Amino acid sequence: MKPVTSAYTQQKNKQFSTSIILYGIRYDATANKWLYYTNYGSAVTYDGIEYVPAVIHHDAFKENTTGKIESVTLEIGNVDKIIQYYIDSYNALRKAKVVIKQVFKEELSDPTCYDEQIYYIDGCSVSTSVASFVLGSSFDIMNVKVPKRTYSRGYCQFRFKGTECGYAGPEGTCNKTIQRCIELGNVERVGMFPAIPMKRL
């Protein structure tokens, strides 16, 4: 999420301002093709892009008790079957990038005056009247582990005699403990973090 500008903050804090939500859905990543919608009653042009009015809304994002941002639901009217076409033609829009921007009618001439959230489509369901999409972060959708390395207090994660381990001596086994690294004279290459506290304060 980009830092918001002072102009955005000032407009947001005004007693009377018209908030507009803009939606960009990249349905074809290879050709960089997008659908652009707005919840406003008429077409909106912002930063050179025209957003067409649609029956569309999304849930506000929120964190669960562990601090993880929960998935967001995006709903688009399907009476005209336009969104149905893209669902059927582009793999149910799976992994499609979704950019949601909040702008203000009074500041449409300022291309920096907005706030945005970026999601990726994780699944969808369709009825005759509405298409509902489950949005998640890129890490959730791409099954990326964050962090890529697990921080362990008492177990070395390096492959014995591998590049990261660096041990080239005659010994043939290692039980992955810091004591064994000391015995092998290789403690400076240990793949663990013994300073991590055992209990939370």
Q: What's the pTM?
A: 0.64
Per-residue pLDDT of 25-68, as tens digits, reads 999 999 999 999 999 999 999 999 999 999 999 986 555 544 45
10 Å CB burial of residue 133 (0-12, 13-18, 19+) is buried
Inter-residue contact 105 to 84 (CB < 8 Å): no
pLDDT score at 67:
46
Q: Which of the following CATH numbers is that of domain 6-141: 1.10.3470, 1.10.150, 2.30.110, 3.30.43?
A: 2.30.110
DSSP secondary structure, 123-141, as one string:
EEEE-SSEEEEEEE-HHHH
Domain residue ranges of the chain, discontinuous segments joined by +: 6-141, 150-201
